[in-house]
Structure 1
Amino acid sequence: MAHPLNLLVIDLETRSDTAILPEDRDPESFPKPIQHEIVTLGFLLARIERDGEYERYNVRKLGAASIAERGEREILAGFWQMIDKQHPRLVTWNGRSFDAAVLKQRSLIHGLTAHNWHRTDPRFGYDYRYESNWHCDLMDALSDFGASPRLGLDEAARALGLPGKWNGCGAVVAEQAAAGDYAAINRYCEGDVLNTYVLYLRWAYLSTRLSARSHNASVQHLLDYLEANRELHPHWGEFADRWQSSDRPCPVFVSEPLGGSGPQSPESHLRSEDVMP
């Protein structure tokens, strides 16, 4: 399959699996991926539409799967089934170092298989680091694969006027899970998913997957989706409100060129001598 059919943005919230942590482990060290038990998997699924040579994304579903309703094995099996059925481009933030590693390594424990993950494109598929068609680790891509300093999700989001981590913190997930407050974990996880998705939209425009028109259409579709579901999910509406009322000088929509649908903004007509010292 040459092209993904959907876009799947995910984020994991985890806690240490104390049953397999080494007894002599430094308590201050961060556990290895296989030592993280999944608490919540947040996701946004969007259909990839073709707009000439560009893409456009329409949100299909936003949500979170939590161990409050199902076991970790069910969460993992559901993820691999989604990869098999939806043929998505996976979008993560630090996913190659953490999220995808946790998903694969924890699946070893539960005896699961990941068919399409490994067979979609054996050479340039989900596990190929330098091709973003099937798995785009946005943090890795923005750092030019380690050539420049890596950005945290919160600092990248806030730089663009997004809410960032306004409604939670990963450091307290284990405590919240112990208290049974899975709803708070889900809200926080979905917030990270939304931040990642909007950052991806801007990156996709920068990298010319999206034109200015299709970027703006994708943003508007997201805002319409959040507004339509505000009553059932108030934190989705709060995300949109905080984003649109931000005092950061970063536009929600990009400038569209007159008389065309290409990715260039109207400022592209400026000559280099007009902007260079």
Structure 2
Amino acid sequence: MQTCPASAPDPEPAPTPRPASTRVADAARPVRPRPVDGAAPHDALLALDIETVPDAALVPPDWPPDRFPKNAWHRIVAISFVTADILREPGGRESYAVTACRSGGEGDWDEARLLRAFWRFFEARRYRVVTWNGRAFDMPTILARSMMHGVEAPAWFRRGTRWEGYRHRFALDWHNDLMDATSEHGAAQRLTLDEAAASIGLPGKMGEHGSRVSAMVAAGETERVRAYCETDCLNLYALYLRWAHLSGRTDAAGHDRSVLDLMDHLDRARAASPHLGRFVDAWRLCSAGRAMVVPAQAGSETIA
């Protein structure tokens, strides 16, 4: 698959002018959220990703080096996320306003402290969780390592109902593993996050890869790992915006407002977090042949 150029070289370039798009240019930024109806199970999105290294104390000595370790044998070194308020629109549609793109804790925190802080953060709001392969890897790993360290996670297990909740595979308004959802739950071939990102003009991994995380951690480059994990979350969040439009959770105008809001957030964050600025610059470059916005609906056309 054709890939987009990697991140812009340092020093930081001047922001690239936005591609012309009447609908996005004229769209107002989403207003801050109105109070959420108490009946709504979620008031925010949490697009989540983790980075891990093998736990040398647990991986058996005879475990084949080319075989992926089991979930519990992964030590978590970064938990990163994009959070966004869910804005309820007239007619029941949604749009989304970014509140943060960051990693949890500090780079020198140990795993147990990171997990305790994550679950306190998670309990503070009613999140709809979005992951990529998170049902098979990210969440089982977080839960296994939490159990190992004696960290409780009641919200993950007790919120929801008998039929809907974070642990229900088909309850996509609770935990949407987008890799699973876009493959029709395994009926079709699964894409990697990088492949899915390229399909809608996102920059993808920008030259980094999860296979390099262990070397980065060994070299003391924890902040580089956290930045890489955050860019994965940005790809994931932007993919969710397009999926939300596909599935009717948002309409074209809501999708476009949400995209513009994300790009504005990254532009404002570039001074403090240069990797976020590099991501949005690469996004503008990569999307030259792929519209960031969804096409205006033509109306009532049907296939005869």
TM (norm. structure 2) is 0.84
Q: What's the counterpart of residue 174 of structure 1?
A: 214
Per mean C-alpha deviation after superposition, the further-off stretch among 162-171 and 57-66 is: 57-66
Q: What is the DSSP-based 3-state SS (H/G/I as helix, E as strand, rest coil) of the residue aligned with 2:286? A: coil
**Quick check: 1:167–1:188 contact (8 Å CA) kept in 2?**
no
Cα separation, partners in 2 of 1:91 and 1:210, compared to 1, 3 Å: same
Which structure has more relative contact order (CA 8 Å, sep 6+)? It is 2
Corresponding residue number in structure 2 for 1:220: 260
Instruction: Give the alignment partner of residue 80 of structure 1, picking from 108, 116, 119.
Output: 119
Residue 170 of structure 2: aligned partner: 130
Aligned-pair CA distance for 1:69:
2.6
Return the match for 1:51 from 89, 97, 105.
Answer: 89
Report the Cα offset of residue 250 of structure 1: 2.1
2:59 is aligned, of 6, 15, 21, to 21
User: Unaligned regions of 5+ residues in structure 2, if any?
Assistant: 1-38
What letter is aligned with 1:61?
A
Deviation digits for residues 135-191 of structure 1, max 9, x if unmatched?
A: 000000000100000110001101111000114111010010001011211111111
**TM-score (norm. length: structure 1):** 0.92
* Aligned counterparts, 1:213-252, within 5 A: 213-246=253-286, 249-252=289-292
Asked if residue 4 in structure 1 is aligned to residue 32 in structure 2, the reply is: no
* 1:61 matches 2:128: no
Counterpart-to-counterpart distance in 1, 2:256 and 2:287: 20
1:163 aligns with 2:194: no
Cα–Cα, structure 1 residues 192 and 166, in superposed 2: closer, same or farther, change >3 Å?
A: same
Give the share of equivalent positions with the same residue, in percent.
Answer: 40
1:269 matches 2:300: yes
**Contact between 1:54 and 1:208, CA under 8 Å: does it hold in 2?**
yes
C-alpha displacement at 1:248, in angstroms?
A: 5.7
Give unpaired runs (5+ residues) of structure 1.
Answer: 257-264
Residue 238 of structure 2 is matched in structure 1 by 198
TM-superposition CA deviations, 1:100-144 (whole Å, max 9, x none): 010011111001111111111142100000111110000000001
